[in-house]
Amino acid sequence: MAIGTAIGMAIVPTLEDEMLRVQCAEVRFRLLGCGQFLLTLIGAGVLASAAFADVVEPATLAVADFEFKDTSGEVRDQTAEHQARLKAFGVTLQDALSDNKKIDLVALPCQAEQCTIKDPGLVDLSKQAKTARAKYLLIGQMHKMSTLVGWVKFAVLDLNNNKAVCDRYLTYRGDTDEAWRRAAEFTVRDIEKHCIP
């Protein structure tokens, strides 16, 4: 209801009416300013929480050397070729995992020598990984079934409870350097997708 003086049919605003409008405008202006300030604070809080969420510690992972098993029954001795491919597989695996910002690779002391689940064995590997402050241990085996088919069997173990976070079989085709390299790259993608929390 407007405050004013009626002159005939027209309402002429009074000084009180003008003052009330000015006061209402000031209140709206202050509320708008407070609202903008609150929105700015909320936005800053969201950005800060997102920034702190990105600072999550990477998972520490120790990577053991993979074993190799050949049940293809091929006549030709390919031991040297397979050892070279196995070594290249391990290098590709480590390089690709080290590029992931969610994973912090830690070296195992045994990696200067044999460092597999058979030698020195899973118990020693777990101890070495814990000593290196790893939370997880990656172990695995390449298995050549035939000239055309191979398997990559691997597991990521949680060293806090000695249980597998994942235990996977992947297949690959071919027994060439390229086939093994692709198998290593696929293994890395699978580890990143299914095995590292």
Cβ–Cβ under 8 Å, residues 2 and 11? yes
Per-residue pLDDT averaged across 137-141, rounded?
98
Contact 105/188 with Cβ under 8 angstroms? no
The average pLDDT across 159-186 equals 97
- Cα 101 to Cα 7, 20, 56, 98, 107, distances in angstroms: 79, 61, 10, 8, 17
The more confidently predicted of residues 5 and 96 is 96
Q: Please say if the pLDDT value at position 145 is more than 70.
A: yes
pTM of the predicted model over 0.85: no
Name the nearest CA neighbour of 108 among 59, 56, 63.
Answer: 63
Q: What is the pLDDT of residues 8-19, one digit of tens each?
A: 555 555 666 666
pLDDT, one tens digit per residue, over 106-115 is 999 987 788 9
The pLDDT confidence band at residue 84, using thresholds 50, 70 and 90, is very high
Give the chain's mean pLDDT.
85
Q: How confident is the model at residue 4 (pLDDT cuts 50, 70, 90)?
A: low
> 89-109 as b/e, with b when 16 or more CB fall inside 10 Å?
bbebbbebbeebeebbbbebe
Kindly tell me if the per-residue pLDDT of 37 is higher than 80.
no
Yes or no: say if 175 and 68 are a contact pair by the CB < 8 Å rule: no
Residue 88 has pLDDT above 90, yes or no: yes
Distance between CA atoms of 190 and 184, rounded to whole angstroms? 10
Check whether 91 has a pLDDT greater than 80: yes
